[in-house]
Amino acid sequence: MKLYYMPGACSLADHIALEWTGAKYDAEAVAREALKQPEFLALNPMGSVPCLVDDDFVLTQNVAILFYLDEKFPQAALLGGSDKQVRANAMRWLAFCNADLHEAFVPIFAPMRFIDNEKEHPALQNTAREKIVRLLGIANNALQGKQYLAGVKTVADAYLFVILRWAVGVGIDLSPFTNLTALMNTMNQDAGVQAALKAEGL
């Protein structure tokens, strides 16, 4: 198995998941410019990471990859094990991270995709920032009295961890979100997280 990633990008969640499986795998960093070149587009026509190649099976999209890894390595309980409600909750928070929180960062990272006029970028980015803070508040509340989003450690926590790193990177103050800060600390101490961060040079 090989994971294509960019350091610190959303593919870090898959990298962490692979570490949690304990399986042997390769990981290859892709330069941002290479994402839109024919060689990589042949693997992922979206020109984005993550991309997982398992023999001749090529899989893209974070949620699909994380789900596939859970099915392939059930002993790792990446979605929390066999309890249907725990699994559903893990999927729910995975969807929240992928479809809501992750997407909310796009205007900050790539405002030119929305508005050509650079003068209008700060206003767009401020609106995105407000949305992110609101969504972080929802995740923070969900963690009240719990160590992990679904009650037990799942790949949803790995995804949220990646996004919390972005939030810190763009200067969002996480200190009011004590449960998110606690999750970040827990994840930073996790051996699989540490191995993935080290492998990505972070």
Q: Which residues bind ligand GSH (CB under 6 A)?
A: 6, 9-10, 35, 47-50, 61-62, 98
List Cβ neighbours of 158 (8 Å cut-off, separation of 6 or more): 12, 13, 16, 17, 20, 187, 193
Q: How far is the CB of 141 from ligand GSH (least distance, A)?
A: 24
Q: How far is the CB of 24 from ligand GSH (least distance, A)?
A: 23
Q: For residues 19, 25, 29 and 35, what is the CA-based torsion angle, rounded to 10 degrees? A: -110
For ligand GSH, the nearest residue by Cβ is 48
Closest to ligand GSH by CB, 85 or 168: 168
Q: How far is the CB of 49 from ligand GSH (least distance, A)?
A: 4
Closest to ligand GSH by CB, 47 or 81: 47
- Under a CB-based contact definition with an 8 Å cutoff, are residues 62 and 3 in contact? no
Closest to ligand GSH by CB, 99 or 123: 99
Closest to ligand GSH by CB, 50 or 111: 50
Q: How far is the CB of 140 from ligand GSH (least distance, A)?
A: 22
Q: How far is the CB of 68 from ligand GSH (least distance, A)?
A: 12
Q: Would you call 13 helix, strand, or coil by DSSP?
A: helix
Closest to ligand GSH by CB, 72 or 146: 72
Q: In 1-113, where do the E strands start and end?
A: 2-5, 26-29, 51-54, 57-60
List Cβ neighbours of 60 (8 Å cut-off, separation of 6 or more): 43, 44, 46, 48, 50, 51, 52
Q: Which of 97, 90, 175 is nearest to 139 (CA)?
A: 97
